[in-house]
């Protein structure tokens, strides 16, 4: 019989609010690209079709996942500059978003860097039913496990 194809979509992990990873730094665009290349070179079969999210779109998603109310001005600024339907890669314009952040005097890196457990987070006031102490313990366990795996 004829062999089929396998489609594989690979997304970069984003440290999101209300998770044990909310204190972790987001990967840089260059590091995301490096890891995507590594995966692509490791898959040699032509029957496996790899799809990756755009690194710039991933970075923007990470910013908004850990953002605060100041980002409302950035969203409005990007809209004024012409950003529309940016979840679709073919119309996404990262340059407009960088300009909007700059116009508001906001650094994306402020939302992408690692955070200390004691640092107040913009979403701390939202009660999800999961305590911050529990998330911290889970974060520490995940870090320990990652160190064991790496080695």
DSSP states of 100-133:
HHHHTT--THHHHS---TTS--TTTTS--SS-HH
pLDDT of residue 1: 65
65: closest CA among 99, 125, 9, 19?
Answer: 19
Q: What is the pLDDT of residues 24-40, one digit of tens each?
A: 999 999 999 999 999 99
For the record, the structure tokens of 46 come out as 């032509």
Question: How sure is the predictor about 147, in pLDDT bands with cuts at 50, 70 and 90?
Answer: confident
Average pLDDT over residues 122-147: 94
Query: How far is 95 from 78, CA to CA, in rounded Å?
Result: 10
| Residue 149's pLDDT band (cuts 50, 70, 90) | confident
pLDDT band at residue 117 under the 50/70/90 scheme: very high
pLDDT, tens digit, 9 for 90 and up, residues 39-88:
999 998 989 999 999 999 999 999 999 999 999 999 999 999 999 888 77
- Residue that has been written with the tokens 């073919």 in this structure: 90
Q: How far apart are CA 56 and CA 97, in angstroms?
A: 10
Degrees, nearest 5: CA angle 28-40-54: 40
pTM over 0.85: yes
């Amino acid at each position: 019989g004829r062999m089929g194809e396998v489609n594989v979509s690979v997304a970069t992990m984003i440290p999101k609010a209300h998770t044990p990873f909310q204190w972790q730094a987001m990967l840089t665009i260059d590091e995301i690209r490096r890891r995507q290349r590594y995966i692509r070179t490791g898959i040699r079969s032509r029957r496996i079709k790899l799809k990756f999210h755009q690194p710039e779109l991933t970075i923007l998603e990470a910013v908004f996942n850990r953002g605060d109310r100041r980002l409302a001005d950035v969203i409005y600024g990007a809209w004024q500059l012409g950003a529309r339907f940016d979840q679709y890669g073919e119309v996404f314009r990262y340059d407009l978003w960088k300009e909007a952040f700059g116009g508001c005097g906001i650094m994306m890196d402020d939302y992408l860097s690692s955070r200390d457990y004691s640092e107040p987070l913009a979403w701390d006031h939202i009660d999800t039913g999961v305590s911050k102490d529990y998330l911290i313990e889970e974060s520490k366990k995940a870090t320990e496990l990652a160190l064991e795996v790496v080695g």
